[in-house]
Amino acid sequence: MIWQPLNLTEVCPTYTPITACSSFGYVYLNLLVQLYGGSRDERPHRDYREPEDIRDEYDFIVVGAGSAGCVVANRLSDNPSWKVLLLEAGPEQPDVTLVPGLSTALIGSNIDWAYTTEPNEKSCVARPGGRCPWPRGKVMGGSSSINSMAYIRGNRADYDGWAALGNEGWSYKDVLPFFKKSERNVNIEALNSVYHGVTGEQYVSRYPYIDKPSLMLTDAFNERGLPLTDFNGAQQLGTMQAQAFSLSGERVSTNTAFIQPIRYKRKNLTVKPNSEVLKILIDENKRAYGIIYNENGNILTAFAKKEVIVSAGSINSPKLLMLSGIGPRDHLEKIGIPVVQDLAVGENLHDHVSFDGIIVALSNKTATTVSEEEVLEAVQDYAAMKIKRGPLSGNGPVNSIAFIKTDPDLIAPDVQFQVNYIPNWREFLEDPITGASVSIFPTGFYDAVLPKTMNLVPKSRGALLLNESNPNGPPILYANYFSDESDLIPLLKSVRFLLSLEDTEAFRSNGAYFVREPLPACRDHVWGTDDYYICLARSYTSTSYHPVGTCKMGPAWDEKAVLDNQLRVYGVCGLRVIDASIMPFVNRGNTNAPALMIGERGVDFVMKYWREHNEPYCSY
């Protein structure tokens, strides 16, 4: 078995009312392991033999088989004269990741790096140690294999903003073709659209199963004046059931889309899971020429004739650069790492901040709850289906999304509403921290929803540092949520809009209402007041899993820039970073679609360069 679920013994307190921590939770997870713990990727691998002439020298080495890395490796290996090595620290993609309705069961499992943030006393206060969890995919496909699959690109103002900072080639007009290149959108409205692609590798579609509460939410947002819209089209402002990285009721990760179809067919592509890169090799001329990596306990070396491309994500890309001597001089010298290049690696860390605690209870006629026996039956039925249908082929209310402006004069939306599910809101109300950390049951069965207001334009900035006592271990993550207290303002304004949904016909006809009982950490505040919601935001802070910015792209005069506009590391030859860590500021929306685009845009720079040159460019 490849997949190992969250260890309930470690995360469940001695007493909690949360059903996931009961004996049924153990039975349920054991069933998931038996049905979905293996991997489709293992099956062809058993009979595959690497060609005998495979050596440890390649044209390109790609570090990280995640949202961007899989795209990069696919495009580079399309040239049969280039040998490409793709390494992934995690295992093959287990079958449990394919089931949309099991997306939350992946958090905290062995395919999650399971990072946590450092306390700052302004956020995450009610969580253990004042730390928020930061899931990241440690598996083929990276976070595209464990996320909630919403396909949202952001706003054109984001990319025009990147270009305005001096990053030529990154305006909306520049990047739209690269969004479209990957996309294979199967919904009818995408046909003949100037905004969508229909021939790419990455399938995009709506789920075959969308339940009644999800439609209720979209109807309510619509009643409150938000138009039905294609978030990735002409207008982002509005509401809709968002499309997903899925096809026919299954997740389509970047591993599924870009690597599986070519992995055992292109002889010039070598893919190594369970291989964590420990260091980039850089010579005395500051040229990256290879890597050292740990493959299943064996320390190995591989060499790159052209480039090393780091696509390990917003946490592991800066970590690897610093381990290799590229980063803030003071920090590296303190740890004892020889400095190759003094750059602001790890700075500019930021994320879309949100919080838990606003609960919408559903009436018995609208709730989708079922018995424990029916949950187990649904899990088994989905596994037996050739054509995937039913609650597990969707993702509950998660794709019920809306974008608003909290000020009409803003150039673009500043708040996104995303919705989580609550299997039993009375349990959750008593122990919301455990309820959030053991959200293991299918997302299609619930009696309440948890609409979350997400600040799309956070001003707070944090930093990532190596752990001084164990540099190779988990890095130190200073999320620094609400260090700039103005980040609370859009959240408070959007809460008022959210509460007005209770007056819509959609809510009234379905018997939906806001639970007006305060959560435990905020019982000293009156429900419905600004003080109460500020308490919720500070106590039950939550991430949208969108950390970015730690290897910032920017012009040479930008002291915080790590990369130039073609994603080349300043001061080092033959080394690029291509993933969401390059973002100068986060896009207005989910970050997986932009990560794919960054993969396409970045590798296009690589391919164009090497068609015309024989030596790596040095961005001095």
Residues acting as catalytic residues: 546
What pairs with residue 247 in β-bridges? 250
DSSP assignment, residue 201? S
The C-alpha atoms of residue 387 and residue 208 are separated, in whole angstroms, by: 10
Q: Which of 26, 217, 212, 11 is nearest to 116 (CA)?
A: 11
Please check if 63 is assigned to a binding site.
no
Contact by Cβ (8 Å): 376, 26: no
- Concatenating the DSSP letter of every residue in 232-275 gives TSS--SEEEE--BSEETTEE--HIIIIITTTTTT-TTEEEESSE
CA dihedral 113, 114, 119, 120 (to 10 degrees): 60
Query: What Rg, from alpha-carbon coordinates, does the chain have?
Result: 23
Nearest to 234 by CA among 181, 282, 172: 172
Q: Could you count the other beta carbons within 10 Å of the beta carbon of residue 476?
A: 15
| Spatial CB neighbours of 76, under 8 Å, sequence gap ≥ 6 | 59, 60, 62, 82, 84, 603, 606, 607
As a whole number of angstroms, the distance between CA 610 and CA 615 comes to: 8
SS3 content of the chain, % helix, strand, coil (to 5): 35, 20, 45
Q: Shortest CA distance to 183 belongs to which of 172, 167, 195, 199?
A: 199
Question: Binding residue per annotation — 277?
Answer: yes
Torsion sign, CA atoms 85, 89, 93, 97: negative
Distances (CA, A) of 158 to 56, 195, 351, 492, 585: 40, 16, 15, 23, 8
DSSP assignment of 503-516, as one string?
Answer: GSHHHHHHT-EE--
- Using DSSP bridges, classify how beta strands 462-465 and 347-349 pair: parallel, antiparallel or unpaired: antiparallel
Q: Which residue has the tokens 């207005």?
A: 588
CA distances from 348 to 143, 423, 471, 582, 597 (A): 21, 36, 20, 10, 21
CA separation for the pair 527, 593 (Å, rounded): 37
The one-letter code for the residue type at 464 is L
State whether residue 381 is helix, strand or coil. Answer: helix
Q: What does the block give as tokens for 491?
A: 């959240």
Residue 356 to residue 431: CA distance in whole angstroms: 12
Contact 349, 550 (CB under 8 A): yes
Sign of the four-CA dihedral 305, 311, 314, 320:
negative
Cα distance between residue 135 and residue 110, in whole Å:
11
State which H helix or E strand residue 315 sits in. Answer: helix 313-323
The H-or-E segment that residue 453 falls in is: strand 448-455
The binding site for FAD comprises 139, 277
The binding site comprises 139, 277
